[in-house]
């Protein structure tokens, strides 16, 4: 069966410090990977998604970046954190849809999340 | 553009009551997918159901049931005989097919359900 891991679970960082959040998936190959942020107001915002190694798409301009160095590893980074980066970060994966390019909008499965507090 | 609206921000019921969570979506695509997720206090989003736009058949899973109506662009979720463990935030989401975009989810703002003993 497939599992998704995120770490750390909780992180408190000062403003201006760097950030690295890691997400790994087990039990599947070539998954689509996603980073979401959930702010205090509850809404979920898609930050980045990746359909393959080295392929990153950004949804909103921001202080964050993402990388996919391996098939099942997705990393969220920042060189200098802002107060507004605080939130709950969720990683998700979905199976690659049939066909090379068209997504079948497969179900996304979420990790346990990382709570980030920037002070 | 796609949009999902969950008009109920918070709902509070007493255990054993039935409760319906509303979801209204907007899209011009003819092929789309609808989802419900549950977010308990621990924070992890738990997948509940996925429906495609060509399947309007209602679904029942234990105490959970879903009513999909394309005519009103709604995908409502009913919990029968609610229990304290049902307390969580519930999200409705929409996804459409796009070239090489991995099936992005558009979420509603969520409905916080509180079931009191």
pLDDT in tens, A90-103: 999 988 755 444 44
Instruction: State both tokens at B95.
Output: 């996804």
**For residue A36, what is the enclosing H or E element?**
strand A32-38
At A84 the three-state DSSP class reads: helix
The stretch A19-37 carries a mean pLDDT of 94
Q: Which of A86, A85, A64, A66 is nearest to A75 (CA)?
A: A66
| A110 has a pLDDT exceeding 80 | yes
Task: Please count the residues of chain B.
Answer: 117
> CA dist A1 to B8, B37, B53, Å?
35, 20, 28
Determine the pLDDT at residue A7.
95
From B52's Cα to the closest Cα of chain A, the distance in A is: 9
CB proximity A11 to B under 8 Å: no
pLDDT number for residue A99: 45
pLDDT for the residue numbered A58: 87
pLDDT band, very low/low/confident/very high, at A59 (cuts 50, 70, 90)? confident
Return the structure tokens found at B103. 């099936």
**CA–CA dist A54, B93 (Å, integer):** 27
- The confidence score (pLDDT) of residue A103 equals 46
Inform me whether the pLDDT recorded for B103 exceeds 80. Answer: no
Q: pLDDT grade, residue A85 (50/70/90)?
A: very high
Name A56's Cβ contacts closer than 8 Å, sequence gap at least 6: A48, A49, A50, A66, A67, A68
Q: What is the pLDDT of residue B99?
A: 63
Whether A66 has a pLDDT exceeding 90, the answer reads: yes
**Residue of B91, B101, B103, B112 to mutate for A, most A C-beta atoms under 10 A:** B103
A94–B103 C-beta distance less than 8 A: yes
Q: Which of B77, B93, B76 has its CA nearest to residue B32?
A: B93
**Per-residue exposure over B89-113, b if at least 16 CB sit within 10 Å of its own CB, e if not:** bbbbbbbbbeeebbbbbbbbbbbeb
Are B102 and A101 within 8 A, CB to CB? no
Q: What Rg, from alpha-carbon coordinates, does chain A have?
A: 14
Of B35, B43, B97, Cβ closest to residue A113: B43
**Numbered residues of chain B with Cβ closer than 8 Å to any chain A Cβ:** 32-33, 35, 37, 42-47, 50, 89, 91, 95-105, 107, 109-110, 112
Residue in chain B nearest A104 by alpha carbon: B97
Determine if the peptide bond prior to A39 is cis (ω within 30°).
no
- With b for 16 or more beta-carbon neighbours within 10 A and e for fewer, the B6-25 pattern comes to bebeebebeeeeebebbbbb
Most confident listed range (A90-99, A105-114, B68-77): B68-77
CB contact under 8 A, B45 and A90: yes
Chain A / chain B CB contacts < 8 angstroms: 75
């Amino acid at each position: 069966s497939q599992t998704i891991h995120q770490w750390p679970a909780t992180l408190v960082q000062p403003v201006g410090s760097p950030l690295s959040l890691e997400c790994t998936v087990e039990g599947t190959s070539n998954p689509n990977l996603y980073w979401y942020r959930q702010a205090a107001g509850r809404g979920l915002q898609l930050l980045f998604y990746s359909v393959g190694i080295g392929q990153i798409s950004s949804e909103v301009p921001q202080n964050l970046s993402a990388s996919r160095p391996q098939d099942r590893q997705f990393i969220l980074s920042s060189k200098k954190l802002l107060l507004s980066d605080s939130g709950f970060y969720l990683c998700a994966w979905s199976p690659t849809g049939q066909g090379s390019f068209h997504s079948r909008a497969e179900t996304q499965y979420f990790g346990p999340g990382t709570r980030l507090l920037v002070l | 553009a796609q949009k999902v609206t969950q008009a109920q921000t918070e709902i509070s019921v007493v255990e054993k009551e039935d409760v319906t969570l509303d979801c209204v979506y907007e899209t011009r695509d003819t092929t789309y997918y609808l989802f419900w997720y549950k977010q308990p206090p621990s924070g992890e989003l738990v997948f509940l159901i996925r429906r495609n736009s060509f399947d309007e058949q209602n679904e029942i899973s234990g105490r959970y049931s879903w009513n999909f109506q394309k005519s009103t662009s709604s995908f409502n979720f009913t919990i029968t005989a609610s229990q304290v463990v049902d307390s969580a935030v519930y999200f409705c989401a929409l996804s459409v097919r796009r070239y090489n975009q991995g099936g992005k989810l558009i979420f509603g703002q969520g409905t916080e359900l509180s079931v009191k003993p």
